[in-house]
Every structure is written in structure tokens, then in C-alpha cells.
Amino acid sequence: GQQLNQSPQSMFIQEGEDVSMNCTSSSIFNTWLWYKQEPGEGPVLLIALYKAGELTSNGRLTAQFGITRKDSFLNISASIPSDVGIYFCAGRGFGNEKLTFGTGTRLTIIP
């Protein structure tokens, strides 16, 4: 099925570093969502974006809905050990009920 291009696939960073990941799509979306998934659990919503150009923060997390409607990025500032997990972007097009997920970015924090 259709998937978004999410990069990078994995990141190995030190505690305290900033993190940036992004998603691109060949289709225009009217909704971009960012989720985090930890082992054995379902994806948990981090940030929801509904307008092109929208920049939204949730604590140390900031996400933007790209102006072209075909991309979005997520930044995490000053990473901490509990940020470890897999981050997924997801998008929904106009008149489309289906939410398409990116392939995920696995974040690992090096001691």
C-alpha cells in the first residue's frame, strides 16, 4: 500500500542533542499527524497539524505542516532517555478517510 517517505530511518544521538526528522508525500494532504510508538504499545499521538504552514509545539516537540502540503517535519529539542522509540508521521488527503503512515524513524539515545 501507499506509504510516506520518512527520514531518517534511524538515529543514534547523545542525550541533550536536538533531533529532526521529516516526511514527504507525492500527494497533497490536509492533515499531518506525528505519533510515537514504544515496544509493546500502540502509537501515541504527539502533534496534530491541520493547516498548511502551521507550526505547533508540544513541550520539547515542534512540528510543521509544509506549505506545499506534501511534507512535514518533527523536531525534538534537548533529547532525554524517555524520547527513545519509533516516531511515525501520518497523513490524510482531502475526502480520504484513510490515514497513511510513514515507515518510521527509530530513535536511540547513546549513553
Partner 1 sequence: DSGVTQTPKHLITATGQRVTLRCSPRSGDLSVYWYQQSLDQGLQFLIQYYNGEERAKGNILERFSAQQFPDLHSELNLSSLELGDSALYFCASRGQGPSPLHFGNGTRLTVT
Report the interface residues with partner 1, using CB under 8 A: 1, 3, 30-31, 33, 35, 40-45, 48, 50, 88, 90, 96-104
Closest to partner 1 by CB, 30 or 111: 30
Distance of alpha carbon 107 from alpha carbon 111, whole angstroms: 13
Task: Report the 3 state secondary structure along 39-91.
Answer: CCCCCEEEEEECCCCCEEEECCEEEEECCCCCEEEEEECCCCHHHCEEEEEEE
Q: Which is nearer to partner 1, 55 or 78 (CB)?
A: 55
Tell the smallest beta-carbon distance from residue 22 to partner 1 (Å). Answer: 16
CB of 9 to partner 1, least distance (A): 10
Of 3 and 18, nearer to partner 1 (C-beta) is 3
Measured between alpha carbons, how far is 14 from 4 in angstroms, rounded to an integer?
27
